[in-house]
Amino acid sequence: MRDLSVRNQSEMKDSNIRQIIRTVLQQGPVSRSELCRLTGLTPPAVSGLTKILLEDGILTELGPVNGKREGAGRPPSLLKVAGKSHAAIGVEIGVSRLRMGTVNLLGKLLDTEVVEISSKTTVDDVIHRSVAFYRRQEAKLAAQGTRIVGIGVAVTGLVDTDSGISRFAPNLGWRNVNVKDLLVQQLGSPVIVDNNVRLMALGEEWFGRARNSGSIILVQVGYGVGCGIVLPKLGLLQGSFNGAGEFGHCTILPGGPMCSCGKRGCLEALISERAIVGTYLQRSLSAPNSALPVPPENLTVNIIVRLAADGDEVAQSVLREAAAFLGIGLANLVNIIQPTQIVFSGNAFALSPTTRGWIEESTYAHCFDQPKFKFSNATFRNYQGVVGAATAILEKELL
C-alpha cells in the first residue's frame, strides 16, 4: 500500500511538472500566479515545482517586468522555457534523403545533416548514420550543458508506433523492420518511431506557426499523399491500429487510375508526383506543337507548376484537375473533423500561390458549413519531419 501511494505521489508530481512546462511553453512568459490560474495548481505547488524546474535549467526567470502588474504590488517575475537544458534528435527517412537534426526544447532546429539514399541503402546503413549523428551531437551539446533526451524517427508508410516497427515502407522496400529495437540496442536511449506525416503534424502543433490553434490537419503532397491530424484534448490521432491519416488512399474517383495500394481512384493515384507528371506527359505529348522544356525523365511537378504560371495550358488543366480532386478530399476531412487550420507540406503543387488558389476554391466548393478554417504552409519546410520526430521524443520525455 505504501509503495503504491509513494508511486502515485511521484506520478502526480511528474504530471504536474509536465503541465507546468507545457503551460509555460504554450503561454509563456507567465507569472507564477498566472500559472496557478492556468493549471489549477495551488500557489505552494507552483512555487515548489517551478523551483525544481529553475534548478534543472528547464525554466528561466525573466525578472520583474514593468507594465505587467497584478494588483498593487511590484510587477511579478515572469517565467519562460530556457530551451538550452534539453534537446532531441529527429531523423526522417525519406525517398531519396536521410535528414537528421537536433531540436531544442523551444522547437529550434540546431544542427542538421542530409545524406543521399537510394533503394540500395540498407537498414543497417540508416541505423549506422543515425547513431553516428546522435553520438556526435551528444558530445557537442554535453559541452554546452545540453542533454539529449532521445531520438525520434519518421518513416513513410505503415508504422506500428507501439513496437517501433516499420510494417511497410514501399519506397524503401522495408517490411517489418524493427527500427526501434535496432536503435535502442546501440544507443540505450528513448526511441520513438512513427509515420512521417503524422510526426510533421505533431511538430507543427507544438512549435510551428499553427501552434495552439486547436485542431490541425497537415497534408503532405509529394511522392505520396498523407495527413496528420491533431485534435483538441486528444492530440495526435494514431488510430486504433496505428493507421490513421492514410488520406492518400481515400477513393476520390471510383474506377479511376490504379494506385500503388492495388485499388483504383485513390487520391494518391490522382495527385502524387508520379500521377501529375504522368498525366502531363501523356497530354502534352499528344498535343500539337508540344515541346517539353526538359527530357521526360527529368520532368517534376515543380517544373509543371512553373510552366502553368508561364501560361502552359496543358500544365494548367492538369493541375486544375488535380486541385479539384484534392479539394474534394480536403472538404470531406473538414466536414468530418472541423479543423481550425489546414497546413500544407510538400511540392510546389501544394505550396505555390497559383495551384493553392485552385485547391482552396475546390475545398470551399465542397464544404458543408461556411469555411472557418485557415490554410497555411508548414513552418519547417524540408525539415518538417525531422522537427516532428524530435518533438515526439521531447513530448514523451518532458512535455
The nearer residue to Zn ion, 250 or 292, going by C-beta atoms, is: 250
- The bridge status of strand 174-178 relative to strand 165-169 is antiparallel
The minimum distance between CB 169 and Zn ion, in angstroms, equals 15
> Is residue 225 a contact point for Zn ion (CB under 5 A)?
no
The minimum distance between CB 265 and Zn ion, in angstroms, equals 8
Q: Which of 113, 119, 91 is nearest to 390 (CA)?
A: 91
Residue 339 has what DSSP assignment? Answer: -
> Is residue 259 a contact point for Zn ion (CB under 5 A)?
yes
Q: How many residues bind Zn ion (CB under 5 A)?
A: 4
Distances (CA, A) of 204 to 33, 228, 371, 380, 387: 29, 10, 21, 8, 8
The nearer residue to Zn ion, 266 or 359, going by C-beta atoms, is: 266
Q: Hey, which bits of 184-236 come out as E strands?
A: 191-195, 216-221, 225-231, 235-236
191: left (phi over 0), alpha (psi -120 to 50) or beta: beta
> Is residue 261 a contact point for Zn ion (CB under 5 A)?
yes
The minimum distance between CB 243 and Zn ion, in angstroms, equals 13
Q: Which helix (H) or strand (E) holds 342?
A: strand 341-346
The minimum distance between CB 260 and Zn ion, in angstroms, equals 6
Nine cell digits for residue 380: 519547417
End-to-end CA distance of the chain: 29
Amino acid letter, residue 222: G
Binding mask 23-62 for Zn ion (x = CB under 5 A): ----------------------------------------
The count of C-alpha atoms lying within 13 angstroms of the C-alpha of 227, restricted to the half-sphere facing its C-beta, is 30
Q: Which of 361, 331, 363, 359 is nearest to 346 (CA)?
A: 359
Q: In what order do the strands lie in the sheet with 165-169?
A: 158-160, 165-169, 174-178
Stretch that binds Zn ion, among 48-56, 255-263, 352-360, 368-376 (CB under 5 A): 255-263
Cα separation, 230 vs 165, whole angstroms: 22
The minimum distance between CB 253 and Zn ion, in angstroms, equals 12
The nearer residue to Zn ion, 221 or 266, going by C-beta atoms, is: 266
Stretch that binds Zn ion, among 98-106, 261-269, 316-324, 361-369 (CB under 5 A): 261-269
Stretch that binds Zn ion, among 65-73, 195-203, 242-250, 325-333 (CB under 5 A): 242-250
Stretch that binds Zn ion, among 61-69, 82-90, 146-154, 266-274 (CB under 5 A): 266-274
Any bridge partners for residue 89, and if so which? Answer: 102, 151
The nearer residue to Zn ion, 136 or 167, going by C-beta atoms, is: 167
> Is residue 285 a contact point for Zn ion (CB under 5 A)?
no
Q: Which of 100, 266, 281, 299 binds Zn ion (CB under 5 A)?
A: 266
The nearer residue to Zn ion, 273 or 395, going by C-beta atoms, is: 273
Stretch that binds Zn ion, among 145-153, 194-202, 205-213, 251-259 (CB under 5 A): 251-259
Distances (CA, A) of 275 to 118, 134, 221, 346: 21, 37, 11, 15
Any bridge partners for residue 158, and if so which? Answer: 168
Q: Which of 249, 308, 339, 341 binds Zn ion (CB under 5 A)?
A: 249
The minimum distance between CB 254 and Zn ion, in angstroms, equals 13
Binding site for Zn ion (CB under 5 A): 249, 259, 261, 266
